[in-house]
Every structure is written in C-alpha cells, then in structure tokens.
C-alpha cells in the first residue's frame, strides 16, 4: 500500500479562493497560466493544505493551484545548461515548481492572508558553497496545462526526457524543429539547402526519448553519420552539443 497521496483525475481549475484560472471564462479571455498538481509527499501536501486560505473545504489530492499563487523564486522558467563554457538559458514551454515550493500568494483575498516566502539564503557546505545538483529525471511531471486533462487516471503521458527535447529551441534560424505525427517521444531538427534548384534536407538530428535517456541520430545528406546516447540529465544540452559537432561541410567532429 502506498504511503503517498492517492490520485484520481485532477481538477481543471485553480483551487485558490477567488481565482478563476482554468475556468471557461478565463480561457476565453486568453489568459494562459499553468496549473500544478498537489505534491505526492504527505508532509508537503499537508504544508500546502495549511498554506491555502480556504475555510469552506480543504485542499484535496485532486486539487490544482495555478502559477499566480507561487512566488517567482519557486518557479523554474528556463532550462540552464553550460555549452562550450557559456551558460545558455532555454525557455520552458511551461514552468515547473522547485522542490520546496509553497503557495503563498493570494491576490484575490485580504493581503494579510498572503505570506511572504522566506528569502533564499546561500549556505556554505562541503561543496564549497555551491547548491546541490538536483536530478532532472523525475518519476512524474507535476505541471500540466490549464486546458482540461483528458487522461482519466490523472497521470501525464510525456516522460521528462520527451518534454525536455520537445521544449528545446533550434540553435539558429537555419534549423527547424518538427514534431513527428504518431511518435510523441520523437522530435527532429533539420537544416535545408538548395540542390540544383530543388529543396533538400542537408542535415537531420532525430531525437527519440525512452525512459530516462535520449538517442540522437545524426544524418548528413541522407546518410547516418553518428548515433549519440544522451543522458536524461543532459537531454536539453544534448541537442546543442550534438549539432555543434556538425561542421558546415557535413562532417561530424567526435
């Protein structure tokens, strides 16, 4: 028997008092916000229950809260990677919550019900003051779009690696990103060129996600020149690292 919070189909509107996120009226107005499922961990779930100022009913396992009720320090809006010694930030399609996120912002209720979150404090540890690395591979996603959830069991269909690759942006205007019909775990990036007046695919990088790993197949002029196994913790940077190896003349630098 699981000790965590049992889940049914998640609600499609925000549980916070006075909030209309997820309702039809809000969707028609064009307001786009992300909804977050409650934590699976029982202690964090209780912390969320205590933080939500609703007297009529308690927070439930199927409840969701929108991003408007979380301080910005709890929202992760970018993938951050180091490529060739430079820090690259890639915007996420949807934000995710930090592990210690608590809903503290309630703009539609009296101000005294909103609590200021504790300020971030950098504590020096055995790692020389650097924060501990948080694994990217997670058992389940905690963020879903504000549209109605079509999955009856309330689970999320995409694995973290598939979401990471789908969220990657091409490194330049010459590259294009393609989602593959009938293959949700596959994403292709291509470069086109003119060949005797005809349009041709010069370079193709096909990513296929499986569990916590990603396989990248690199093709130049319809010839497969390299297969690269990308780990889940590097799947965002794996694309950039892979395409950087492709020289303008079609050779791959190992």
29 and 151 co-located in one domain: yes
143 and 33 co-located in one domain: yes
pTM of the model: 0.42
Q: Sorting pLDDT into bands at 50, 70 and 90, what band is 120?
A: low
Q: What percent of the chain has pLDDT over 90?
A: 21
Angle CA 55–59–65, to nearest 5: 110
Sign of the Cα torsion 123, 127, 130, 134 reads: negative
Please give the pLDDT value at position 158: 40
188 and 98 co-located in one domain: no
100 and 172 co-located in one domain: no
66 and 84 co-located in one domain: yes
191 located within any domain? yes
Q: Sorting pLDDT into bands at 50, 70 and 90, what band is 74?
A: very high
Residue 18 confidence (pLDDT) above 80: yes
Please give the pLDDT value at position 157: 38
188 and 82 co-located in one domain: no
Q: What gap in Å lies between CA 166 and CA 180, rounded to an integer?
A: 11
Q: Sorting pLDDT into bands at 50, 70 and 90, what band is 162?
A: low
253 located within any domain? no
Please give the pLDDT value at position 114: 55
Q: What gap in Å lies between CA 177 and CA 210, rounded to an integer?
A: 19
Q: What gap in Å lies between CA 75 and CA 69, rounded to an integer?
A: 10
Residue 42 confidence (pLDDT) above 80: yes
Q: What gap in Å lies between CA 243 and CA 84, rounded to an integer?
A: 13
Q: Average pLDDT of the chain?
A: 72
Q: How many domains does the chain have?
A: 2
Please name every residue paired with 186 in a beta bridge, in sequence order, or none if there are none.
208
Q: Which of 99, 128, 155 is the last residue of a domain?
A: 155
In terms of Cβ atoms closer than 10 Å to its own Cβ (0-12, 13-18, 19+), residue 138 is middle
- Structural domain harbouring 137: 24-155
The single residue listed with the structure tokens 């569990």 is: 211
Please give the pLDDT value at position 115: 60
CA distances from 91 to 80, 121, 162, 170 (A): 9, 25, 16, 12
pLDDT in tens, 216-234: 788 887 787 777 776 544 4
64 and 121 co-located in one domain: yes
Sign of the Cα torsion 236, 238, 239, 244 reads: positive
Q: What gap in Å lies between CA 142 and CA 6, rounded to an integer?
A: 14
38 and 119 co-located in one domain: yes
Please give the pLDDT value at position 35: 93
Residue 80 confidence (pLDDT) above 70: yes
């Amino acid at each position: 028997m699981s000790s965590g919070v049992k889940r049914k189909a998640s609600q499609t509107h925000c549980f916070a008092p006075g909030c209309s996120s997820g309702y039809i009226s809000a969707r028609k107005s064009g307001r786009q916000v992300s909804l977050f499922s409650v934590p699976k961990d029982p202690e964090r779930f209780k912390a969320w229950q205590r933080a939500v100022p609703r007297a009529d009913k308690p927070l439930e396992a199927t409840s969701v809260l929108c991003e408007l009720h979380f301080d910005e320090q709890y929202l992760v809006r970018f993938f951050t990677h180091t490529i060739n010694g430079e820090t690259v930030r890639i915007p996420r399609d949807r934000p995710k919550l930090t592990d210690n996120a608590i809903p503290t912002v309630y703009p539609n209720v009296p101000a005294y019900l909103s609590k200021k979150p504790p300020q971030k404090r950098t504590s020096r540890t055995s790692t020389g003051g650097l924060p501990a690395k948080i694994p990217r591979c997670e058992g389940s996603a905690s963020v879903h779009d504000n549209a109605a959830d079509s999955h009856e069991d309330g689970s999320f269909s995409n694995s973290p690696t598939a979401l990471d690759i789908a969220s990657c942006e091409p490194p330049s205007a010459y590259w294009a990103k393609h989602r593959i019909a009938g293959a949700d775990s596959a994403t292709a990036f291509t470069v086109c060129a003119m060949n005797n007046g005809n349009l041709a695919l010069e370079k193709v990088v096909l990513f296929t996600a499986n569990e916590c790993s990603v396989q990248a197949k690199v093709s130049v002029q319809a010839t497969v020149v390299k297969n690269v196994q990308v780990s889940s913790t590097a799947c965002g940077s794996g694309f950039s690292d892979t395409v950087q190896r492709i020289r303008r003349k079609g050779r791959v630098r190992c």
